Structure 1
Amino acid sequence: MDGLKEVPGVLSPVGIPAAPALPPGVAEGDATRLFGAAYRMLGSACRALEVVQEAVAASAAAPSDEPYDRLVREVFGATLRSGERERVRVRRDGQAPVAAWLAEPVLTAGGALGPMDTAELRESVSMARLVLLERLAPGERAAWVLHEVFDYGPEAGAAVLGVPEARYTVLERRARQRVQDAESAVRSPDSEASRWSAAAELLGAIREEDPAALEELLAEDVVAWSDGGGQPGVVRRPVLGAAKVGRFLAGVRGRIPQGASGHIAEVNGGAALVAAAGSEVVGVLAPEFGPQGLVGIRAVADPARLVFAGRQWADRGGRSGTRDGVPHPRDPV
């Protein structure tokens, strides 16, 4: 993906449709909420923007008496079709991915994905949750987003998806159960402030390139996933165990461009490490926490997956979301 569309007077700085481009009766907050929904469905901020932009353009071309409801149907319809096309492609090609599937990271402190004022909303866009949602069937994923994010009941949700209420109920219940089963063993009791402090310690140990110090910060059964940096043919299997993950993280500094700096910022609802070379984001490390401590690392270095975060970073002047070097939960970036 080569970047984000620019339409003067239509898009906000990061591309989300803004007034006066929106149909009467649809607020900018509604467009942001729909962008957040499309992102949860697709895991791609760039593609989610395209979906919302296309839905807004279609509404402008053919006004409706219920403009917001129509936008919701169009956005979910487009994301469902996109998900089904991807499933068909995978079945047709019959090939396993060469690197871990990871969502495009998004800086969320500025409200790019909508309100993040509860732990549940922040968790709903975490890198781990998006990987889990990607494993659901598209219809299950849509039902989960409609229920958990939009608080739609069976009647409203079924109308959006164009299915009988009974079918919607089955999809939503199945998705919710799969999410609960996958997360019940890894949910962390730590506070948001303690996670930010842990991210600061992690950044410090990476700067020192000290595998032993890093290993002490990690849970014994920690797992690290990487997208392979977008290099063709590079296989990136998960790295397992504190010792191996510590060595993997100790080598991160040597893999980023010379002159890049490390920062802590709110990414996908939580504290994450951002490597930036000037106004360009060159990597994101998203830590995951469980009862045992730091249990997961998701590393995104593929330039194609960093387009949106890079645009945000540049638009905000490359601020890291820290104050006097000490990270604070909910700081703007």
Structure 2
Amino acid sequence: MSDHATEVFVAYRNLLFTVAYEMLGSAADAEDVLQETWLRWVKVDLGQVRDQRAYLVRVTTRQALNRLRTMKRRKEAYVGPWLPEPLLTAPDVAEDAELAESVSMALMLVLETLSPTERAVFVLREAFDVGYEEIAAAVGKSPAAVRQIAHRARRHVDARRPRQVASPSQTRAALESFHRAIETRDLQGLLDVLAPEVVLIGDGGGVKQAVQRPVTGAEKVARMFVGGLGKVEGTLTGEPTVINGNPALLVRLDGEIDGIMAIRVEDALITGIYYVRNPQKLTHVASETPLTRQ
């Protein structure tokens, strides 16, 4: 029975990690949630479990909800802006448009504005198409209440998500123009690819230097990049990569990983730049993390 429990858990592990990660925005916390789920799973009488996938998702959701509430206190004490932990992902994540959008840095940041229960309901319903009855069992609400929460959360997210999701090729093109302009210190080139209302958010976690509050406006953002690059001691390089299923830049300083830069693109212009430099959040960018909705 123990071997069978292990087989079932391993079969759904990537799904459970994806659920936990979308709810938490932290791979380290998602791993902890999976450990807690496993400890509960091995104590279960599998003969009494009719739908093993649903049961595991339900346990994972409950553990993630508990973790979300404790993370709130950590985020309140966090130095500077908090960004989701970036993940290097396999090509199949980018090929699944819905999955790639649901784990994009831009949407994950929008999910931060939801309450824990709203986030759990939204993730389960929108990203994994879980039924209202199952969600109700996971979050401890009635199906009718879950429907209302789902509607409220969807309306909240829709008001803040990109008006239309850019294709990978559009995002790559904007990222290439941005990268080229940075490398050549081309201020006008930066202004040409940045939307007037672009927002730059940096996450150094108090360990690495980063902007302490969001910087808004193409002129300010462009001049910050051009001016800041002139002060860098060492060789700074950027290489294209795929982070959270979307094109991004892996930034290196003298060959060592310095950060991840992800972007949000609308109408071929960059409206959001997310630069994660906190070393504790860069442990999952060296090897691929499997994500799935199945």
* Matched position secondary structure for 2:275: strand
Residues 214 and 250 in structure 1, CA contact (< 8 A), matched pair in contact too: no
Where do 1:141-290 residues align within 5 Å? 141-183=119-161, 186-188=162-164, 190-228=166-204, 230-231=206-207, 236-251=212-227, 253=229, 258-276=234-252, 280-290=256-266
Aligned to 1:25: 8
From the superposition, tell whether residues 59 and 302 of structure 1 become closer, same or farther in structure 2 (CA, over 3 Å).
same
Q: Which amino acid aligns with 1:78?
A: Q
Residues 194 and 218 in structure 2, CA contact (< 8 A), matched pair in contact too: yes
Q: CA deviation at 1:157?
A: 1.3
Distance in 1, matches of 2:224 and 2:207, equals 17
Q: CA deviation at 1:116?
A: 4.4
Residues 274 and 284 in structure 1, CA contact (< 8 A), matched pair in contact too: yes
Q: CA deviation at 1:165?
A: 1.1
From the superposition, tell whether residues 149 and 272 of structure 1 become closer, same or farther in structure 2 (CA, over 3 Å).
same
The count of corresponding residues between Structure 1 and Structure 2 is 284
Aligned to 1:78: 63
- Which of 1, 21, 28 pairs up with 1:39? 21
Q: Which amino acid aligns with 2:156?
A: R
From the superposition, tell whether residues 272 and 252 of structure 1 become closer, same or farther in structure 2 (CA, over 3 Å).
farther
Q: CA deviation at 1:268?
A: 1.5
Question: Does 1:122 find its partner at 2:100?
Answer: yes
Q: Which amino acid aligns with 1:69?
A: A
Deviations 1:284-312 (A, max 9, x none): 111111136111111111111112224x2
From the superposition, tell whether residues 297 and 151 of structure 1 become closer, same or farther in structure 2 (CA, over 3 Å).
same
Distance in 2, matches of 1:69 and 1:48, equals 18
Residues 170 and 268 in structure 2, CA contact (< 8 A), matched pair in contact too: no
Question: Does 1:53 find its partner at 2:35?
Answer: yes
Residues 286 and 298 in structure 1, CA contact (< 8 A), matched pair in contact too: yes
Question: Does 1:105 find its partner at 2:86?
Answer: yes
Deviations 1:86-121 (A, max 9, x none): 34x37xx9x67541221011112255xxx4433222
From the superposition, tell whether residues 302 and 22 of structure 1 become closer, same or farther in structure 2 (CA, over 3 Å).
farther
TM-score (norm 2): 0.85
Deviations 1:194-225 (A, max 9, x none): 22122112112212223232122211221111
- Where structure 1 has 5 or more consecutive residues not aligned to the other structure, the ranges are 1-19, 316-333
Please tell me the root mean square deviation across aligned C-alpha atoms, in Å.
2.9
Q: Which amino acid aligns with 1:247?
A: R
Q: Which amino acid aligns with 1:71?
A: L
Q: Which amino acid aligns with 1:154?
A: Y
Larger relative helix fraction: 2
Residues 189 and 291 in structure 1, CA contact (< 8 A), matched pair in contact too: no
From the superposition, tell whether residues 81 and 229 of structure 1 become closer, same or farther in structure 2 (CA, over 3 Å).
closer
TM-score (norm 1): 0.76
Distance in 2, matches of 1:75 and 1:68, equals 11
Distance in 1, matches of 2:171 and 2:22, equals 23
Aligned to 1:324: none
